[in-house]
Chains A and B, each alone.
Chain A
Amino acid sequence: MDYSILVGGAAGQGLDTLANILEKILKRCGFYVFTHRDYMSRVRGGHNFTQIRFSDKEVYSFKDQVDLILALNKESFILHKDRLKEDGIIISHEELEADNFIKLPLKEIKNKIKNPKVLNIVGMGAILKYFGLPLDIGKEVLESSFKKKYLEDNMLALLAGYDLIEAKYKLPTFKDKNIIISGNKALALGAIAAGCKFYCGYPMTPSTSILTYISSKANEMGIVVDQVEDEIAALNMALGASFAGVRAMTASSGGGFALMVEALSFAGILEVPVVIVNAQRVGPATGMATRTEQSDLRFVIHAGHGEFPRMVIALRDPEDAFYQTARAFNISDKYQMPVIILTDLYLADYSKTIKPFDFSSISIERYIDKEVGGRYKKYEITESGISRRIIPGKIEGQIVLGDSHEHDECGHITEDPDLRTKMVLKRMRKLEALEQEVEEPWLIGNEEAENLIVCWGSTYGAVKEAVDRLNEEGLSIGALVFGDIWPFPTNKLMKLGKRAKTIIDIEQNATGQLDSIIREKTPFGADYKILKFNGRPFSGDEVYSRLKSILG
């Protein structure tokens, strides 16, 4: 079983509330759920929609076709009617010309409830009935979702909707053992689990929900959250907090990250750990504020003047988001370097059922010395390139000097050419050490595949579904999904690339940025590129059909 529901309407019509409640009900019924959100850059009006897919097997992407459309306005119907399966239905209070159309009796509902805001919940009642899902679970979730004064109307609405139509399915329910979480919340939770105590940022879609989530837990978890005046302040402030000893993070989208570039270079020479998130959206400049893209890869790898080590990690799904964010803090502390996390609007906003996070598996490794013999040297030249780290103000007789100039081991300005060379090499040695601990990409499908797909980050889900399906059809195909992407891990790619006859690059950008890295770092290059840059994410179906058209 595998069903998809699409709920569409204008901004301000309560789509978010509906989707949040519905996905929770489906999860409580024991299904695997995948919710994809598509919204415009406005506060009221326009057209937004949410697609909720549920199944008894794990799902990684959304579907092109849906079983049910709940249209809160006419536009939703017009835009999405072609995506309805033949046996699917449309529910709406509007007068629509469609087969399989169930009209919500708006007037009657209004008479009964006297609250026009609950129309969405009426629709949800109908959806529950249609799939034959237990009303009790619906009530339960509703109770936990609304404040008392709103609960009664919503409960009436749920029942009204439930009574409205006949059940088409009688779906079984299962034991609910999962959590459902979005990419950004998983990321934020990872940061909290890792002991991030200072978070600052400027609101910018799609990074804002990290800021909001951490802020909502700030007092409980003892985290300072600072809404800064601009992104230039953000990274400089985070570096200050980290210099003083607390784990610090900042996040933005591409345009905000662009303003952090100077301070990124600073982090490089200062050798103070920091975690920076770039939740990518469509560029250049303002671009499309609420749409997805993966076009900042080369930018974040090369951002900043001068040369310094950094790590770039692309997140692949909400589970990865949690664990990689926690890992990012350890790596950042270990190498005293900036770790950049790349996510994107699609992953930031979609939610998915996953196993509850294992907090006991998170280790916090800080690499902080409590005592030092002799005079402390912030930039002591060591074999590994990593100098000892102490917290300023904690050891009597020891001071810590961080410096943005080229400096000597103690952090004092120098203009000496030999010392300069030594310091560059010291910093570069950290990158070499880091190269030894980068994680190879995830492998999907056949290890000895004739057709090798390369992709990175959030395209994982769609690629996985497509590759699994093609393998079932007997095609020799495998995919490497890069998470750690700088330093670029090449072992698996070298192994699989030698065997593969065809390499296909799948990315959400227009220039094939991963392919450019592969060309730079390995003897391979993609034979085909499947690129998409219209702001909409790949579905598993789309990747499948585009692969089919290449591979025949």
Chain B
Amino acid sequence: MDYSLIVGGEAGQGMDTFASLFEKAIKRCGYNVYAYSDYMSRIRGGHNFFNIRFSKDNILAIKDRIDILFALNEESVGIHKEKVKETGIIIADEKVAKEDNSITHLKLSEIASSLKNKRVENTVGLGAILNYFGVPIHIASQVIREEFKEEIAEVNLRALEEGYKLLDTRYPLQIREDDKILINGNEAVALGAIAAGCKFYCGYPMTPSTGVLNYIARYANEFNIVVDQVEDEVAALNMALGASYAGVRAMTGSSGGGFALMVEALSLAGIIEVPVVLINVQRPGPATGFPTRTEQADLRFMIHAGHGEFPRMVIALRDTEDAFYQTVRAFNIAEKYHIPVLLMSDQHLADGVTTKKPFNFKDIKIERHIESNIKGEFKTYELTESGISPRIIPGKIEGTTVLVDSDEHDEYGHITESAEIRTKMVDKRLRKFELLKEEVQEPWHIGDQEPENLVVCWGSTYGAVKEAVEKLLNEGVSIAALVFGDIWPFPTNKLLNLSRKAKKIIDVEQNAMAQLDSLIREVALLKSDHKILKYDGRPFTTDEVYRRIKEVI
């Protein structure tokens, strides 16, 4: 079983609430859910929709075809009609597209009026649809009670009951054990940061990164986290560096345009060797681009941003689970090497909701690498074999002070113009990068060990690629995919290994310039034979990746 639903309408029509209630009710029945929201950059009007897929299998992306369309306005019917399977149905209030015979019209608004609350119209629809899938009403009622305050819950419960009467059950779901959580990429990142002990988060609101800021702000007081909504992104990274220098784990986040304003301070992080974690939740550029849509076009930018040369790590997040654990790991790596660690997400992952095993908090280690038994004059930049100098917290050791400096400096942090010290300090910083190379994680490997066709991709395309590749494997195609998470330093072992026998390398990316391919050319001296690129702001569906791979093999 594998069903998909689209609910579409204008901004302000309450789709968010509908979607989260529906997702949760389905999840409580023990099913896996994947939901993607497609919204416009406006507060009212326009066309937004949620595509919600559910299955007993692990699902990681949306499908092209759907089983049910819940149209909140006529426009939605026009836009999504084509996607509805032959066996599928379109439901709408009786006032929507009256003439259209393909629609199952329901008395949603009439029932809402009779309940004297216009806003419960969607809940009536929710009841109808849940009954269509045979979701027991007690599960749905529980979800409603959790979501709304008591008074509002009451009227919604009545709306739900009325809705259950409107459609017959067509696909009765077997109730399974529900042992999952339902979370989106931004929430997973934020949760990872909190679990890792991030105590300072600052940022400027920017779609689609705002979710991270919002989530952390919600729990700031409970977890002793300072959340500062800064005047601009230039301040953000500088401020996070100040907090980290003073000894707390600090993070900032933005989307590409905000990250662009952090570039100068990224270079600062490189030379002052103060750890920091930063997330770029990508959206289509250049400039303002598409604020509410998805793209993976900042890869090269993140790798090379900042003047001068300094070590950094770039980690692309692949799904919500990966987002959680990699965020935790990012803090440990930043503090081990005293470098900026840059996380890359995108709107697709940030807003996409998935069911996952509950995160394992017990195995999380917090590794801070902070010394406390140092006396006398302290060398912030002591030249060591590893390139990593000891770190202490300023103000904690009487008689010992800590100086960090954006100029080239000597071991104590004082300005120098010495050619010799300069060379030593560059070598020191770059040694950290060499060391880091040894702990980068190889990409996830899906499929054959000796594939004829090798797909390479990174970050959030993971879900669509995985499903497409598995389908092709089932069809007997010799294929594998490498999905890069750690992407700078660029891990090459598995790639070199799997490419040896491969006849074709196929690059799948959400950008126009095939940036991963350029990295592979540069670092592994391989190149892709085919590129499957998409840059219209919409995420790949499983079906699209499958079809486009089919075309080239």
Contact = CB atoms under 8 A, between A and B. Distances in A.
B partners with A: yes
Interface of A: 40-41, 46, 232, 253-255, 257-259, 261-262, 264-266, 268-270, 280, 282-291, 293, 295-296, 298-299, 301-308, 403-406, 413, 415, 417-418, 420-421, 424-425, 428, 509-511, 516-517, 519-521, 523, 525, 533-536
Given A284-B308, A295-B309, A415-B290, A265 B422 contact: no
A381 B118 CA distance: 46
Nearest to A268: B286
A519 B521 contact: yes
B308 A269 contact: no
A535 B308 contact: no
B286 A40 contact: no
Contact of A535 (B298, B417, B512): B417
Given A304-B301, A305-B298, A406 B522 contact: no
A306 B297 contact: yes
Most chain A C-beta atoms within 10 Å of own C-beta, residue among B270, B405, B419: B419
B235 to A, nearest CB: 12
A254 B267 contact: yes
Contact of A511 (B255, B260, B430): B430
Contacts of B268: 284-285
A302 B422 CA distance: 26
A305 B267 contact: no
B408 A254 contact: no
Interface residues of B, number: 67
Most chain B C-beta atoms within 10 Å of own C-beta, residue among A232, A259, A265: A265
A283 B307 contact: yes
Contacts of A511: 309, 430
Most chain B C-beta atoms within 10 Å of own C-beta, residue among A270, A421, A509: A421
Interface stretch (B25-33, B137-145, B464-472, B532-540): B532-540
Given A307-B511, A420-B535, A415 B293 contact: yes
B287 A285 contact: no
A285 B266 CA distance: 8
B234 to A, nearest CB: 7
Contacts of B521: 519-521
Given A232-B261, A415-B40, A510 B426 contact: yes
Given A283-B267, A304-B260, A535-B422, A257 B285 contact: no
A534 B308 contact: no
Nearest to A517: B522
Contacts of B417: 40-41, 46, 288, 290-291, 535
The 3 residue pairs across chains A and B that have the minimum distance between CB atoms:
A306-B285, A283-B308, A254-B307
B406 interface: yes
B174 interface: no
B529 interface: no
A293 B419 CA distance: 12
A269 B41 contact: no
B263 interface: yes
B307 A417 contact: no
B260 to A, nearest CB: 4
Most chain A C-beta atoms within 10 Å of own C-beta, residue among B284, B304, B310: B304
A441 to B, nearest CB: 19
Contacts of A305: 255-257, 259-260, 282, 285-287, 289, 297-298, 301
A452 to B, nearest CB: 18
A519 B267 CA distance: 25
A329 B128 CA distance: 64
B308 A287 contact: yes
Given A286-B407, A534-B422, A302 B286 contact: no
Contact of A534 (B40, B255, B287, B423): B423
A301 B301 CA distance: 9
B307 A406 contact: no
B433 to A, nearest CB: 9
Interface string B410-427: 000001010110110011
5 contacts: A258-B306, A282-B308, A288-B422, A305-B259, A510-B426
B286 A307 contact: yes
Nearest to B407: A286
A406 B286 CA distance: 8
Contacts of A534: 419-420, 422-423
Contacts of A428: 512-513
Contacts of A535: 408, 417, 419, 422
Nearest to A421: B536
Most chain A C-beta atoms within 10 Å of own C-beta, residue among B287, B300, B513: B287
Nearest to B519: A520
Nearest to B418: A534
B513 A258 contact: no
B295 interface: yes
Interface in B322-342: none
B307 A257 contact: yes
B261 to A, nearest CB: 5
B271 A287 contact: yes
A513 B304 CA distance: 10
Nearest to A513: B309
Nearest to B267: A284
B285 A304 contact: yes
Most chain B C-beta atoms within 10 Å of own C-beta, residue among A40, A268, A415, A516: A415
B474 interface: no
Contact of B308 (A296, A308, A519, A520): A296
A535 B416 CA distance: 11
B309 A304 contact: no
A516 B522 contact: yes
A428 B514 CA distance: 12
A290 B417 CA distance: 9
A395 B417 CA distance: 56
B309 A259 contact: no
B1 interface: no
Given A287-B407, A288-B417, 17 more contacts: A254-B308, A257-B307, A265-B285, A265-B286, A268-B285, A269-B287, A282-B408, A285-B267, A291-B422, A305-B255, A306-B287, A405-B288, A415-B41, A420-B290, A517-B522, A533-B426, A534-B423
A420 B536 contact: yes
A257 B304 CA distance: 13
A259 B263 CA distance: 7
